[in-house]
Every structure is written in C-alpha cells, then in structure tokens.
Structure 1
C-alpha cells in the first residue's frame, strides 16, 4: 500500500494504531488530524484496553512533519496551523485514558521524536536512532520540546536540539529514558510489544487510568502551551534565513 493512511486494528483487546506515508512516514496535516482523532476514539472504545502506536513499513518510524507542506507556508496563521498538527496528536496521547505503547522500528526525526516521547512505554529496535533537525532550517523543536524534555530531561533535549545534524543511537535514547528496551531486530521488537501489550490487558483498567493521570501530572496547560509553541514556529518559518534554506530543498 503506497497511499497515506491511519488505521486501527483490534487484537486481543489491544488497539494497534498504525500510520503511514510514502515519504519516510513524514506526516502532512490531514494525516496528523486523522491520527489525533483515531487516538481519541481508541481511548473511548470499550473493546480496547491498551493501545500500540506504530508506523507502516520496516524502515523510518517517522520523518517528522511534511516537508512539502512546510515549504509552502507563506503566512503566520498557516504556519501555526501547520505546526499545530503534532501538538494535537501529542495532546490526544496525553489525554487518552489508556496506556499507549510506542513501537519504534527505525529512525525518527523531529515530530516523530515527539510522538515517541508522548507514549507511556516506548520500545524500539537498534535501528531507531533519533534526531531533532529543526534548527537546521532556522526554527526549533518548540512544539515537541515539552514532551521530549519530560522524558529525557532538559539536558538531553537541549543536546539533541542544538546538535541538529546528528543522529543519536537507540542505546543513547534508552540511557536517557526515552526507550525502555532496545531489540536487535524488528521481529524481536514486535514479539515483545505484543507480549507486553497483551499482558497489560490483564491488569485493572482503573489502576492503569489512575497511573496514567499520575504520569502526566502537571501537563494540564499543554493545550495552551503547545498552541503558543506552534505560533512561534509559524513565525520563525517565515524568516529570510529559513526561506533561503528551504529553497535549497525544493
């Protein structure tokens, strides 16, 4: 399948939410909107006790936001809407009353790192290197920054945000607390994700809800915070430096 999609498959009380885009799983606004809604709907679906977030194909987990849409931003309002895409998904994950397990099978960049950081339990393969590349084009990881900082701390987040040219290996991400486990192959990863998710389904759902609320304590202001961050990015993307940088990618 080469067309973009978001789909939900329920198996043994686990809701597997999978997104895909042929451009290395970079996500345009319409796919992000559908992903946020699918997460919200899964959170209220009584047939689902635990959610797994994954992407299609075996290589890149998520290359961030759609570059095609990014280079066509010409005003601040459009820019804010564009950068609100990942904000809406992160907030949907934050508010979801069920545990979300991340299945990170390959490299993840920018907004994709934000998705990984917003899961409640994130499992990865050794190929799942991470990078925050936003500074390279004259903006920054403003929208995803709070989610990433929450998982790996200000020091770790600032390191990868400033070193915007480098991929950091999966083991580094594990040491910093982003990943809980790193597996040698995607086959091992999938087996572990399935086992973990199905075992969680045997637990008290009320207890898991209370734990999720405890994990996310202090983030009630994120609707406003991430909207403010999206506005910052929407303004910066119109700068002369950024526009000149983006021209080289057309």
Structure 2
C-alpha cells in the first residue's frame, strides 16, 4: 500500500479529513486537496506524526486549469490508485418557488462539475495503475427528494448519474466506480454552511436524534469499500443512522 496514492478532495474538514485519516492508516500516501491549505497543513502534520504519508495540494475543484495542474503535480507521487470525490456541500433550504439561482449554480459547480473536472483529469492515471478506484461521495439526497432541498437534491442526483454512467462506460477497464450515499451525518460545518452560519438552525437539524452518523463512520465505510479485492465493486452503498428511516422520517427523542 505504501506505493499507492489516494486523492481526497475536500480534505480540509469533516468527511474528507476523516477519510484521509482512514486511507493513511490503510497505508496509502494521501494527497490532501482543498482550498483551505492551513487546515490541510495541520492534517498533514498530524498524519506525519502518526507515521503516515501525506502531501498538501491547494485546489478549487471548480477551476479546471487548477485541477489539470494538480493532476500534473501528482506525477511526482506514488502511482494513483484511489480518487475520493468528496468536495461538495449544500446551500439554503428554500422551496423551488423562491430558491436562489446563485446558490443552485454554486452547488452544481462544486458537487457536479467538480466531480467531472477531477475525475476527467485523474482517470488516465487511475486506468494506467491497472487497479484504480473512483469513489463518489453523494448522499441519500441523490436517491430521493425532500421539501426545501431541491437545489442540493438536483446536484446530488446528477452526481449519482455521473457515477452510474461512468461505471457503464468503464466496463472492461481496470477501474471501479463506487458510490457512497450517506444519510444524516453530523459534522462541524455541513449544516452551518447550509444555513449561512446560523448555529441555531444548524443545531436543530440534529436535535433529538440519537446517534447521527459521524464523519468517521463514513470514512470507515469508504476505506472498507476501496479495500475489497480488485474484482469486487461496491456499486452503491447507502449509509444511514438507525434513527433515520428515510430523508423525511427521522426519530427524535423529545
């Protein structure tokens, strides 16, 4: 494993940082990619102190020129075997009638075009490895909708379609395409970003929910999926907390 590289986008926090830790512990050199390099530097230092290997790469996945430069820089690292498309996020909970087109556009560019840019740029190296894996972190929002979530749901549905189509197009090639679709995950920033910094609204999302998923739960799932034998493809894995039966049915303790 020490001769293999895994790329994690959005590695500066939450699920991305947790996934980077899990893959580093599995023996990969982890290429940490995100916009907030100060956080990446801190994570790389943490991994190095634990005896793991990581490199820091400033990256905005919506900037194609930057993504192409990033792909070139990876040539100095061990061969690329895993790409985890994690960068993304949600903005707002407005209904379709009053949704902000700018927020929809931002979500589409990060969640959808970001996956497209990075996957296109790194696919040649993943194929050349002879045993490549593309992971797309979507959401249960990629599979079912809910009121107030149309912009995010539309973007995540598009990500799901990318993963599903890419798997068809790569059939016969030495690259797996794995989609991990988490449900309610409590992280420091996801809901806070969605509600534009309103901590009260962000906290209300998880109020009364016993045991929402953690970033580490998702990271362990990613590490398990990519560690399956090369002939085993985990097409789609939906991950929810026990308290969540669907996007719209969640048990809360009052």
Q: TM-score, normalised by structure 1?
A: 0.32
Q: TM-score, normalised by structure 2?
A: 0.31
Q: Which structure carries more relative contact order (alpha carbon 8 Å, separation 6+)?
A: 1
More helix by share: 1
